[in-house]
Structure 1
Amino acid sequence: MTMAAAIERRTAEAPARSKAGHIASIDVIDDLRRAEPIWRRLESRRQVSTPYQHFDLLSAWQRQVGEREQVRPFIVIAYDAEHTPLLLMPLALRCKYGVRIASFMGGKHTTFNMALWDREFAVHAGSADLDALVSKLRARFAADVLVLAQQPARWRDLANPFAALPHQPSVNDCPVLTMQPGAPPATLIASALRGRLKGKERKLQKLPGYRYRVADGDVEIEHLLDWFFRVKPQRMAEQKLPNVFAEPGVEDFIRDACMTAAAGGSRAVVIHALECDEEVIALFAGVADGDRFSMMFNTYTMSGHARYSPGLILMRHIVDHYAALGYRSLDLGVGADDYKRMFCKDSEPIFDSFVPLSARGRVAAASMSAAGRAKRLVKQNQTLLGVARRLRCALR
């Protein structure tokens, strides 16, 4: 092909490409079953999403928790001019103080929130695309404000396009462990820490039937969850923390998610455990996508075996497990707990966006944004955090 012909061809294709690949229309769906085919297509590894936004996990949350909280699905799908899905926002709509709030499904149980993106669109999406999305949502008059909280700035080396929206740092940071495939174990966990944990584990290895395992069968998953829901309330009461797992529908949601077989035969939530014949000693559970493991919930025994740091020992096994599988990162959830910093030396930026869609939503967005900044200020200041904790204990 001559240069002139090539230029002519590119010129002829330009109008079509300018329409395809940019947001031309949106759909707002309140039925999970209608959204499921597009949702599952966009959650494949060829596209971009976190495992917290996978259909199996969030449909269980909506069924068991969302419906009890009287929130309904508010699933936004954006299409190009050829009606190709470009992104899906798995949101839930609730009414609070007369304001219709659309926020990510999953509530307190998702560490990260993110839209599901067509990869090619996500790479090239710009402010004009986001302006079109927000403008079309405003025209629907279906919600007053978008609350897009705890979004990662990047996922699998791809920038989150929603970072182009007005945003602020989330209340908490997320400690993360970056793992280079094939890296020596000493580069993942400091030799001194690894040595201490192996010394403690030798005490546990004397217990009959001592083992580390990744739960697979339904019977063992049910057994581990029965133990977790007995022990976790005791641990939280000991720490003077509210038991979020006692809220309506949460236990059913966790059980459904752990029992659901996801793509490839894995579980929507993966359970790791230390056990002996006598008891479960520690349990950590989270989501995994072939590239990253992210913890959702954990606890450890109330017995005397707790003095050997079984939670930290289990964490060492989990790091080694995912390193052997070639994973590139691991996190233990948001917050600056000491045990997280023992393993996760870096901090991952996560952000919140409060996007008004109506006049009422502008007031709500400003209020929620200010509240978020105030909470972050308290979390970042040890003196203020101590006062807040003492006040919380006094109120309880």
Structure 2
Amino acid sequence: MTMAAAIDRRTADAPVRSQASRIASVEIITELDAAERVWRAFESRGPFATPYQRFDFLNPWQRHVGVSENAEALIVVACDGEHRPLVLLPLTLRRQFGLRIASFMGGKHSTFNMPLWDTDFARDATASDIDTLLARWRERGDADLLVLTQQPLRWRDQANPFALLPQQPSVNACPVLEMAPGAQLLSNSFRRRLRGKERKLQTLAGYRYFIASTDDEISRLLDWFFRIKPLRMAEQKLPNVFAEAGVEQFVRDACTTRFAGGNRVIDIHALAGDEEVIALFAGVADGDRFSMMFNTYTLSEQARYSPGLILMRNIIDHYVARGYRALDLGIGSDDYKRLFCKDDEAIFDSFVPLTARGAAASVAMSAVARAKHRVKQSRTLFRLAQRLRGALHHDGPKEEKAPKEEKEE
């Protein structure tokens, strides 16, 4: 019997774990197929985790993007004395600078990173538990350095146990909208302006807001997205991350994959008419929070009516009606995000050496990340960095600009 199957069987058959039990062993799984059963068994128990750690999200990412980046799967499973999983870390292992560096699976496509925690264990986890996890792992010698970025300090009003690790603010912030029941999330004047703009779009035949529900709808919307997004990014002088190896296939697979309950791994919200897609926002939802991953809007004259903002209003109303408590618009502080999200999610990075070789690298990488954070927090330094980047590329200064629809507001 494989280790993953053994964990799965014992998890299914075991009674509620003893509160006295703590981390007794750490196992490593290096193949996603071998990890699937224990991972899904963990998910079925309602773990403390973000939707970015679901197997059905990270499996296509690893198969298409991780493999193309020479990132090897490294699934770390910590168990109690009766071999019941308490923590599952979905990581990848890369060899860089002569080091073996472990980081969260999902790369730049995952807004939030966490292990999957047994909910009861996470609630009362201590620094001693985290030290034990690292000590057991160090004994195996699988990695030199842990680079754990974009971790939320809290999730669903519960502390993230990895916040007990040495930490520093992440390079970028993540704008978030807390959706308390009965709160006025958008001002009446803002809604009136959007209704005035939307009346122009409502003259289009078949104009509607919808969430893609069929494979044909998803395929049509993604075909449009992968045509338009590169043009929008070039317009803003930004690199097209969607052109990187494996990314398009990862997105297509995740958008068409269904959970057991029928919901898609990635939901696509859109405004469209019979003849034209006007705007698209896509993200992950978990019954409590919607987290946006990617978006774009039309290049046609309909862009003047702020379709992205209208779509965002529809998305907020959709999730408010379903009792969601939060919505975020992904990493970065673009102008349009501040129209909806006035607060930032507290997210942090940890650089944790596992060997003597990793210790020096952790200091250097931490210092670089701190410097980037300071630049991003200073408008003057940020603009200077953009000008330097433009000079290095010999095509003049480059500045991040909000799309036209975002400036109108």
Match of 2:273 in 1: 276
Question: Partners of 2:376 and 2:333 in 1: how far apart?
Answer: 9
Counterpart residue type for residue 252 of structure 1: Q
Verify the 8 A CA contact 1:153 1:163 in the aligned structure 2: yes
Does residue 290 in structure 1 map to residue 287 in structure 2?
A: yes
Partner SS for 2:148: strand
**Structure 2 residues without counterparts, runs of 5 or longer:** 1-16, 394-409
Match of 2:35 in 1: 35
Match of 1:98 in 2: 98
Does residue 126 in structure 1 map to residue 126 in structure 2?
A: yes
Verify the 8 A CA contact 1:19 1:80 in the aligned structure 2: no
Match of 2:64 in 1: 64
Does residue 205 in structure 1 map to residue 202 in structure 2?
A: yes
Question: Partners of 1:23 and 1:357 in 2: how far apart?
Answer: 18
Match of 1:151 in 2: 151
Within 5 Å, give how 1:128-277 maps onto structure 2: 128-181=128-181, 183=182, 187-277=184-274
Match of 2:338 in 1: 341
Match of 1:314 in 2: 311
Counterpart residue type for residue 363 of structure 2: A
Write out per-residue CA displacement over residues 244-300 of structure 1, whole angstroms, 9 at most, x where no aligned residue: 000011111111110111231111100000001121000000000000000000000
Question: Partners of 1:194 and 1:361 in 2: how far apart?
Answer: 52
Quote the offset at 1:42 in angstroms.
2.6
Quote the offset at 1:394 in angstroms.
3.2
Question: Partners of 1:357 and 1:292 in 2: how far apart?
Answer: 34
Counterpart residue type for residue 114 of structure 1: M
Verify the 8 A CA contact 1:356 1:362 in the aligned structure 2: yes
Within 5 Å, give how 1:346-357 maps onto structure 2: 346-357=343-354
Question: Partners of 2:276 and 2:300 in 1: how far apart?
Answer: 9
Question: Partners of 2:242 and 2:391 in 1: how far apart?
Answer: 22
Does residue 388 in structure 1 map to residue 390 in structure 2?
A: no
Match of 2:24 in 1: 24
Partner SS for 2:271: strand
Match of 1:305 in 2: 302
Verify the 8 A CA contact 1:53 1:116 in the aligned structure 2: yes
Does residue 109 in structure 1 map to residue 106 in structure 2?
A: no
Aligned residues: 377
Question: Partners of 2:231 and 2:308 in 1: how far apart?
Answer: 16
Question: Partners of 1:274 and 1:393 in 2: how far apart?
Answer: 35
Match of 1:6 in 2: none
Match of 2:370 in 1: 373
Write out per-residue CA displacement over residues 299-319 of structure 1, whole angstroms, 9 at most, x where no aligned residue: 001111111111010000000
State TM-score, norm by structure 2: 0.90
Q: What's the C-alpha RMSD, in Å, of the aligned pairs?
A: 1.2
**Structure 1 residues without counterparts, runs of 5 or longer:** 1-15
Counterpart residue type for residue 57 of structure 1: F
Within 5 Å, give how 1:324-335 maps onto structure 2: 324-335=321-332
- % of aligned pairs identical? 64
Question: Partners of 1:332 and 1:196 in 2: how far apart?
Answer: 21
Match of 1:55 in 2: 55
Write out per-residue CA displacement over residues 67-116 of structure 1, whole angstroms, 9 at most, x where no aligned residue: 11111110000000011100100000000111101000111101000000
Question: Partners of 1:19 and 1:320 in 2: how far apart?
Answer: 45
Quote the offset at 1:18 in angstroms.
6.4
Question: Partners of 1:18 and 1:303 in 2: how far apart?
Answer: 60
Quote the offset at 1:222 in angstroms.
0.3
Question: Partners of 1:52 and 1:277 in 2: how far apart?
Answer: 33
Partner SS for 1:176: strand
Quote the offset at 1:38 in angstroms.
2.0
State TM-score, norm by structure 1: 0.93
